[in-house]
Amino acid sequence: MNLPKIIAGPCVIESQELLERVAETLVAINTKLGTDIIFKASFDKANRTSLSSYRGVGLERGLQMLSDIGSKYGLKLITDIHEAWQAAPVGEVVDVVQIPAFLCRQTDLLVAAAHTGKIVNIKKAQFLSGSDMRYPYEKAMESGAKEVWLTERGNMYGYNNLVVDFRNIDDMRHIASTVVMDCTHSVQRPGAAGGKTGGNREFVPAMALAAKAFGANGYFFEVHPDPDKALSDGPNMLYLNDLENVVKSLL
């Protein structure tokens, strides 16, 4: 059976303790369900709504913390980059280099990510259609990426809201062999919480199942033991204890 690609972890690195707790849960799920969940956390959130929002621990410390998690728990790793110069050091640590949605058309960023020789996961911009993602995909593949995944995360719809057009998944399956549904960012309400991003985490399980019906073969979940106390994206993150049942529903 071809298992789906599953990405999970906290939005941003808050502490080593948080990373350890999440990693332990992912290992337990992998052991129980036979999955190979890829651990995700950001060392820097460069696109926060407010200047005062928490951004992370920075590149050097963040990569060391991620490397320690990968070594200790045997988990594959993914993190995102925001500037081309970050690609090379990130590529030394992670298995998958991720391109944020807002930056998916940035040619230098895509080329630098591809030059790492690692898998590149490109998140679809909130202002692009699924078929538009052919061009970021081609930029990365033609620049030497080992493999390119495409990720759906909703489109802008009016103010402070996103809507998912699940037809984008089918469109992107005609471009890339792996299409991931970002089940947590797709329930965001950008900027809708007084200078912070709001969201509706109760819709996350349904987003995953709907994406499966449309042919997604990868799923992205940001998780946290206590999302309401998370330092970034709490309202749309899934409770860590709920992840196993959601993953089980997709197998």
User: Which domains are delineated in the chain?
Assistant: 5-250 (3.20.20.70)
Tell me, what's the pLDDT at 197?
60
User: Which residues, 6 or more positions from 222, have their beta carbon under 8 angstroms from its beta carbon?
Assistant: 8, 9, 10, 11, 40, 184, 185, 233, 236, 237, 238
Q: In sequence order, what DSSP letters do the residues of the chain get, joined into one string?
A: --PPEEEEE-SB---HHHHHHHHHHHHHHHHHH---PEEE-BS--TT-SSTTS---S-HHHHHHHHHHHHHHH---EEEE-SSGGGHHHHHTT-SEEEE-GGGTT-HHHHHHHHHTTSEEEEEPPTTS-TGGGHHHHHHHHHTT-SEEEEEE--EE-SSS-EE--THHHHHHHTT-S-EEEETTGGGEETTTTTSS-EE-GGGHHHHHHHHHHTT--EEEEEEESSGGG-SSSGGGPEEGGGHHHHHHHH-
Mean pLDDT of 98-104: 96
188-234: pLDDT as tens digits: 776 544 554 667 789 999 999 999 999 999 999 999 999 999 898 78
**Is the CB of residue 36 less than 8 Å from the CB of residue 219?**
no
> pTM, whole model, 2 decimals?
0.93
Mean pLDDT of 15-19: 97
Please give the mean pLDDT across all residues of the chain: 92
Q: How far is 72 from 20, CA to CA, in rounded Å?
A: 9
Tell me, what's the pLDDT at 190?
65
Is residue 116 predicted with pLDDT exceeding 60?
Answer: yes
Q: How far is 184 from 20, CA to CA, in rounded Å?
A: 21
Mean pLDDT of 172-199: 79
Tell me, what's the pLDDT at 48?
66
134-167: pLDDT as tens digits: 999 999 999 999 999 999 999 887 677 889 999 9
User: Which residues, 6 or more positions from 60, have their beta carbon under 8 angstroms from its beta carbon?
Assistant: none
Q: How far is 232 from 240, CA to CA, in rounded Å?
A: 15
